[in-house]
Amino acid sequence: MTFSIGTMMQNSLKDIENVIFPQICRYCDTNLKQKEIYICYECISNVPHTEMGDWRNIVTSSEHIDFAISAFWYDDLLNDCVHKSKYNGYQKLLRIISKYAAEIIQNDLIPLNIDLLIPVPLHSTRKRERGFNQAQIISESFSNYYKIPSDSKILKRNSWTDSQTSMNISERKENISNVFKLHNKPEKHTIAVIDDVLTTGATSNECCRILKEGGAEKVGVITLATPKLRKNG
Ligand SMILES: [Zn+2]
């Protein structure tokens, strides 16, 4: 292992900064340890797990989805962390949560024999504005954990979509149709489409449809979380 003078200085400065301004967990006020950011591991470990296994049968839009796995219930704490990780410097938070999610759902994934992960693409303009695609960070974290490749070049986003929050299920389907296109053929893979939150499944369903059109054998979705209270649409 090698240390550059720059890295050593950076670490020393960070240590001094932590003594003067201790980093505190947003939720329980304990001092954060060196590898923690924004929230401590203890609080992350208290986010409730769905323990639903494959819940494809109750996803509202699921015609093209072969499996659906979500690690956590999307509670206030997770919502806060997912939003926080959109800011520069907080992507590490998303990596920490993703690694934890990967650990708790790994037994659900074994029978699926997934051999490729594909993050739900963000429009390139939005990606430029934000600097990164959250789904890609989650997908890369899963890829590191499971040793399954993640490919963000197969699926591309064609156009802008309006925010789906206030739409019903048919409006969401209409909004999302023809938004994605294949950049490369996915070949005969078993693919997991990766996203942060699964609600009605309209976006994931469309990604699965396009990937199957391109030759994928089996396509499902894995998300960090799903909301507990489900509305129809
Ligand atoms: Zn805490």
* Domain match, 21 and 94 both: no
pTM of the model: 0.83
Percent of the chain with pLDDT over 90: 58
Share of the chain above pLDDT 70, in %: 82
Does 118 share its domain with 14?
A: no
Q: Which domain holds residue 9?
A: 1-34
The answer on 187 and 111 residing in a single domain is: yes
For residues 118 and 20, membership in a common domain is answered with no
Compute, in angstroms, the gap from residue 151 CA to the centroid of ligand 1: 34
How far away, in angstroms, is 34 Cα from ligand 1 center?
Answer: 14
Whether 118 and 178 map to the same domain: the answer is yes
- Binned at pLDDT 50, 70 and 90, residue 193 comes out as very high
Is it the case that residue 232 has pLDDT exceeding 80? Answer: no
User: How many structural domains is the chain composed of?
Assistant: 2
Nearest by Cα to 74 from 231, 223, 233: 223
Distance from C-alpha of 156 to C-alpha of 179, rounded to nearest angstrom: 9
Question: For residue 31, how far is its CA from the centre of ligand 1 (angstroms)?
Answer: 8
Same domain, 195 and 90: yes
Query: 84 and 28: one domain?
Result: no
Q: How far is the CA of 41 from the centre of ligand 1 (A)?
A: 7
In a domain, 214, yes or no: yes
Tokens describing residue 48? 């409730």
Confidence of residue 16 (pLDDT cuts 50, 70, 90): low
Place of tokens 């208290």: 46
Where is average pLDDT lowest: 80-89, 116-125, 175-184, 198-207? Answer: 175-184
Give the pLDDT band of residue 49 (cuts 50, 70, 90): very high
Looking at the fold, whether 25 and 103 belong to one and the same domain comes out as: no
Residues 180, 77 share a domain: yes
For residue 233, being part of any structural domain is answered with: no
Ligand 1 centroid distance, CA of 36 (Å): 10
More reliable by pLDDT, 176 or 187:
187
Give the Å distance between the CA of 51 and the centre of ligand 1.
23
For residue range 149-185, list pLDDT tens digits in order. Answer: 999 999 998 866 566 667 777 777 667 777 888 998 8
CA 198 to ligand 1 centroid distance, Å? 25
Cα(4) to ligand 1 centroid in Å equals: 32
Closest by Cα among 147, 146, 132, 53 to 92: 132
**41 in any annotated domain:** no
Decide if 39 is inside a domain.
no
Tell me the pLDDT of the chain averaged across its residues: 86
| Per-residue pLDDT tens over the stretch 112-158 | 999 999 999 987 666 667 778 999 999 999 999 999 999 999 999 88
Sign of CA dihedral 223, 227, 232, 233: negative
